[in-house]
Amino acid sequence: MPEAEAQETVRHLALLLGLAPEDDVPQVLLLYFAARRFVECVGHVQPTVFVFEDIHWAQSSEIALLEYLAQHVRDSPVMIVAAARPELLDSRPTWGSGLVAQTTVLLDPLAPADAGALAAQLLQSGGGSFDLTRLVDVSGGNPLFLEELAASVLELGESDELPVTVREAIAARIDAMPPDARGAVLAAAIIGKTFWRGILGAVARIDNIDEALGILEARDLIRRDPASQVAGDTQFTFKHMLIREVAYATVPRASRREGHAAVARYAEEKLGDASETLSAILAYHWREAGEPERAIPYLLYAADSARRGWAKGAVVDLYSRALELAEDDALRRRIRFQRVWRALSRRLFARGLLGG
């Protein structure tokens, strides 16, 4: 990036990512422009594909930024890939239609021949012979289901009764794990789709946490990330959100509450000021731990951070969550006022009457 732009761009990107809690800008377009210049400059270094996954779960402010990039990044060899489930079109039926250079690719189930080739590749390390046709038929051409079925067969052996859903296949694999690995994956699910070794060690109470993580990596349930949001701690991510959901559903409700409380306490004690950048995560864990009074301050902090980053939809949502948890009348009035004002600001901004 040109030296004259670098400092200001870093400042605005940090604000956009919630890493500059005390900073502020008068216009959202300054933040969007910083993201645009970053993408353009990366593309000038080498042709680059930027991949955004699970857009159906994105906040409205994230969708707006993605659309801005797609509209304005022109003179740099960059491709933007946005993957989403079809339900995105339920809430945004015109998604992508206003973009000049865009192509929509619908992903149908794999054809039997392609599914069979994938199954053969997945099972080739197992040595023996497997009924590929049966796996293909049960999977219905769903690649994730086929992956989990193949992994289940490799780990547990072929059976007369294959799982009939991808959730059953994942659950069967988790149940058959060695105790420490199973305990680690269940504890990791409490932390979230992304989790950290240090926090996992505090929650899981496993003697050899690295061996357990090694088993989970070898079985392709989790992946180690090249960088970490938490300084000095190794970061991991579940390979797929569905794996985390199945593991989380396996944990008894009382154990979940204890786990969420342990995660929140660890973050507060070990991360210090850095915990502020994880305020939304801490709020979630205290809420799930059954301690709403400890969740509310983090929700309010997260709302203020989102406001500074011009994520107006997220601001209203965070205030709504805080209002649901608050019991004190004075606090409820203050939160309600902030929510109404931010909702009004969002409408004014959308009409071009405020900021931006």
Q: What is the mean pLDDT of each run of 10 residues along the chain (356 residues)?
A: 90 81 72 93 96 88 89 92 89 80 87 92 76 88 90 79 85 92 95 91 86 94 89 90 93 93 87 64 91 89 75 76 84 80 57 46
Give the tens place of pLDDT for each residue, 307-335: 766 666 677 788 888 888 888 888 888 88
Give the tens place of pLDDT for each residue, 77-116: 999 999 998 888 888 888 877 777 888 888 899 999 999 9
- The domain limits of the chain are 3-91, 112-175, 252-356
Predicted local confidence at residue 271, as pLDDT:
66
Two tokens, residue 249:
């559903």
The H-or-E segment that residue 151 falls in is: helix 143-156
Distance (Å, rounded) from C-alpha 194 to C-alpha 204? 15
Please list, residue by residue across 163-185, b when 16 or more beta carbons sit within 10 angstroms of its beta carbon and e when fewer do. Answer: beebbbbbbbbbeebeebbbbbb
Predicted local confidence at residue 333, as pLDDT:
84
CB contact set of 104 (below 8 Å; sequence gap of 6+): 96
Q: Please, what is the Cα angle at 75 between 71 and 78, to 5 degrees?
A: 75
Are 349 and 355 within 8 A, CB to CB? yes
Predicted local confidence at residue 356, as pLDDT:
43
Predicted local confidence at residue 285, as pLDDT:
93
CB contact set of 102 (below 8 Å; sequence gap of 6+): 70, 96
Predicted local confidence at residue 345, as pLDDT:
60
> Listing from the earlier edge strand, what are the strands of the sheet with 194-196?
194-196, 235-238, 222-224
Predicted local confidence at residue 82, as pLDDT:
93
Query: Residue 70, exposed/middle/buried by CB under 10 A (0-12, 13-18, 19+)?
Result: middle
Two tokens, residue 164:
């009939």
Tokens 């992994």 -> residue: 151
